[in-house]
Chain A
């Protein structure tokens, strides 16, 4: 009996080391927190309706501008950008519950992001409310250094409710190339956001 036990000892040692090694090696399969709880992203192109679980978004127009003018009577003069303004017109429809806190970013090909500018009263912002099943049309305005505009996408995230954990996110390729950016001196006039008229039948599938 004793002899048999002693004979198993090297085998146990090898098993122990092998299992220990396996435990360490399998750590490689661990998924990072931001991948477990990060936003659930959908993507699409300009002109198509990109749907997530909580909203749909459609980019209807994009302009690269030198100056942008608010329609607000308090500040009617054109405002010049430090770089260029990228103005993105969107149509956003909440499909299940109202979107109260959102985040819009412009993401370049190298994954640099720019937050939406808060300069303009008429522009959409993170605090704009998107009521359920009522399309809202308006523009997000981004201020970007001229040489950094490189195949930008609009990344729109609903961060309200449970924070940004498992948030619904849409990424829309804007189809803008560097040629459209150089010498952008046009002026864009903003209008206040509009609520959809009669086209409210954007029901969830």
Chain B
């Protein structure tokens, strides 16, 4: 195609106009083909269609990559999958279940009056060596209530006498009692302790977030939220 090809949009009479001063006679006729052009051409429909297609793409594609990267790095918290009481679920190659929680209300007159110490018993069985490594990489706990409030685990009571229980370490990743990776196939108890206002205890669910990807930059965290029942009165 030549660069100045008049092409189909410029019909007949206009294109070849070699004389600089056209005769005055046919001037009104020349205006007619312009108005006679089809509607889709006058509305520039191809451009409109291109815009309709490209605009959502230009907005949607960066949004999609942001969401994907945020989910991979963990800056966007994953949606937690709910788990019913006494249900066992598999996540990132490990089996998880919650036995329940023990609530110990603070004594009246003590520093903990109005507050309750909640101990949640998690059990984890890593399926293989890579699952066990994932547990050591990222393993976070949180207590949530129905009103959008959340609590982080506390280490304030970690020196209590636990009566022979040997819970694993949960402060940085989920590890065995000696801060070594949990051996595959071992049922490891993890005791997570929260200090919450007594009125919130009944509504609590217990959230768990672990890495599902061994790469340190993109842990691709996934979450479960466990319903649990009180083990004491």
Q: Answer whether A1 and B14 are a contact pair too, CB < 8 Å, given A96-B148, A133-B200.
A: yes
User: A194 to B199, alpha carbons, bound, how many Å?
Assistant: 19
> Which B residues are CB-close (under 8 A) to A201?
197, 199
Pick from B14, B149, B152: contact of A96, CB below 8 A: B149
Contact B149 A200 (CB under 8 A): no
> Which A residues are CB-close (under 8 A) to B149?
95-97, 132-133, 204
User: A200 to B195, alpha carbons, bound, how many Å?
Assistant: 12
Contact B150 A200 (CB under 8 A): no
Contact B113 A204 (CB under 8 A): no
Q: Is A118 an interface residue (CB 8 A)?
A: no
Q: Is A196 an interface residue (CB 8 A)?
A: yes
Contact B150 A97 (CB under 8 A): yes
**A203 — nearest CB in chain B belongs to which residue?**
B147
Closest chain B CB from A10 CB (angstroms): 21
Contact B147 A204 (CB under 8 A): yes
Type the 1/0 row for A80-96, where 1 means its CB is closer than 8 Å to any CB of B.
Answer: 00000000000000011
**B111 — nearest CB in chain A belongs to which residue?**
A195
> Which B residues are CB-close (under 8 A) to A1?
14, 17, 30
**B75 — nearest CB in chain A belongs to which residue?**
A162
Q: Answer whether A195 and B115 are a contact pair too, CB < 8 Å, given A98-B152, A132-B150, A203-B147.
A: yes
Contact B113 A131 (CB under 8 A): no
User: A96 to B149, alpha carbons, bound, how many Å?
Assistant: 4
Q: Answer whether A197 and B113 are a contact pair too, CB < 8 Å, given A1-B14, A134-B195, A134-B197.
A: yes
Closest chain B CB from A103 CB (angstroms): 20
> Which B residues are CB-close (under 8 A) to A203?
147
Q: Using a Cβ cutoff of 8 Å, how many contacts connect chains A and B?
A: 55
Chain B: residues with Cβ within 8 Å of the partner, total of 22
> Which A residues are CB-close (under 8 A) to B200?
133
User: A132 to B20, alpha carbons, bound, how many Å?
Assistant: 84
Q: Is A73 an interface residue (CB 8 A)?
A: no
Q: Is A7 an interface residue (CB 8 A)?
A: no
**A94 — nearest CB in chain B belongs to which residue?**
B149
Contact A200 B151 (CB under 8 A): no
Chain A: residues with Cβ within 8 Å of the partner, total of 21
Type the 1/0 row for A189-205, where 1 means its CB is closer than 8 Å to any CB of B.
Answer: 00000111111110110
**A199 — nearest CB in chain B belongs to which residue?**
B114
Closest chain A CB from B51 CB (angstroms): 20
**Most-contacted residue by chain B among A95, A96, A100, A133 (CB, 10 A):** A133
**B148 — nearest CB in chain A belongs to which residue?**
A96
**A198 — nearest CB in chain B belongs to which residue?**
B114
**Most-contacted residue by chain A among B14, B20, B114, B200 (CB, 10 A):** B114
**B114 — nearest CB in chain A belongs to which residue?**
A198
> Which A residues are CB-close (under 8 A) to B111?
194-195, 197
Contact A133 B152 (CB under 8 A): no
Contact A200 B147 (CB under 8 A): no
User: A97 to B112, alpha carbons, bound, how many Å?
Assistant: 19
User: A203 to B146, alpha carbons, bound, how many Å?
Assistant: 12
**B27 — nearest CB in chain A belongs to which residue?**
A1
Chain B residues within 8 Å of A, Cβ to Cβ = 14, 17, 20, 30, 111-115, 147-152, 154, 195-200
A sample of 23 cross-chain residue pairs with beta-carbon separation below 8 angstroms, ordered by A number, consists of A1-B17, A1-B30, A2-B20, A95-B149, A98-B150, A131-B151, A131-B154, A132-B150, A133-B149, A133-B197, A134-B115, A134-B196, A134-B197, A195-B111, A195-B112, A195-B115, A197-B113, A199-B114, A200-B114, A200-B197, A200-B199, A203-B147, A204-B147
